[in-house]
Amino acid sequence: MPSTVGCEYIECGARQLRSGGPFARHNKKGLVRLAPSEIADADAMVKKLELLVLGGLLGAPCAAILSKCAADGSFFALHPAANALAFLVCFPAVLLSKMHMFFQMLAMLLLTVGGTAAYMTKDAYGKPHFTSTHSWLAGATATLASLNMLGGLATTFGGKKTSWQWKNPGHRIGGTLAFLGGGCSIVLGVYSGGWGNSQLGEDLQLKVAGVTAAAYSLLFLKLVVSTVAAPAVAKKKSN
């Protein structure tokens, strides 16, 4: 049963850390090694749980912002709506190379729409531009993300042959910084100006900011853990 395998997977993982031995579980005959299919099933279950938790943490604030934008109906509402989709849906999506490229390009399109809506609205009311920490951080994040995306496109399509299988530490670092900047931009944007206070209210502002911060923190922790574990996993596969 999947639930039993999952519990055994966690338990044997702890034993493996202590003993350095292979994944194993207890049965009536004693300690036996887990079958590859059992390990694969447990791993799939963990990934599904991870997707469910992160999907909820990212989807909840996005849905809250989009619902308020729809109720607002103003031209400026395109700004928080587009930014929410870009930073809470597209930026965290790191899938296969082609899907990753699609989501990043979609994110940049959404950021352009959102930025244009904010710029034109301020122009219409005669307000100065780039007067808040949110605006400067969002501008810097969009610039970094654009440069990082252009670098990725150049690496993919710039050679004699199109290459989807490449790794570049600089691209990874740039993407991580842009990702963190996006999360901070969302949190600051909820409190920047009057839209967040008037449309979300103090209670929902705190919830949206808190859940967004939690989601981005978990994703960053996942990135750090996977980066640290990568050499050990590669060594194990080579053996």
The single-letter DSSP state of residue 26 is E
121, amino acid identity = T
Domain residue spans of the chain? 58-238
In 3-state terms, what secondary structure has residue 25? strand
Phi and psi angles of residue 198, each rounded to the nearest 5 degrees, phi first: -75, -35
Closest among 104, 231, 106, 95 to 174, alpha carbons compared: 104
Residues 72-87 have pLDDT tens digits of 999 999 999 999 999 9
CA distance 128 to 135: 11
Residues 126-151 have pLDDT tens digits of 999 999 999 999 999 999 999 999 99
Angle between helix 169-191 and helix 133-157 axes, rounded to 10 deg: 150
Tell me how long the chain is: 239
Q: Can you name the CATH fold of 58-238? A: Four Helix Bundle (Hemerythrin (Met), subunit A) (1.20.120)
Contacts by 47-50, CB closer than 8 A, 24 or more apart:
50/222
CA atoms within 13 A on the CB side of 106: 16
Q: For residue 104, is pLDDT > 60?
A: yes
Q: What Rg, from alpha-carbon coordinates, does the chain have?
A: 22
CA distance 99 to 47: 18
- 49-63 burial: b if 16+ Cβ within 10 Å, else e: eeeeebeebbebbbe
CA distance 198 to 51: 32
Residues 13-65 have pLDDT tens digits of 444 444 444 455 555 555 556 677 777 777 788 888 988 999 999 999 999 99
Residues 196-221 have pLDDT tens digits of 999 999 999 999 999 999 999 999 99
* pTM for this prediction: 0.79
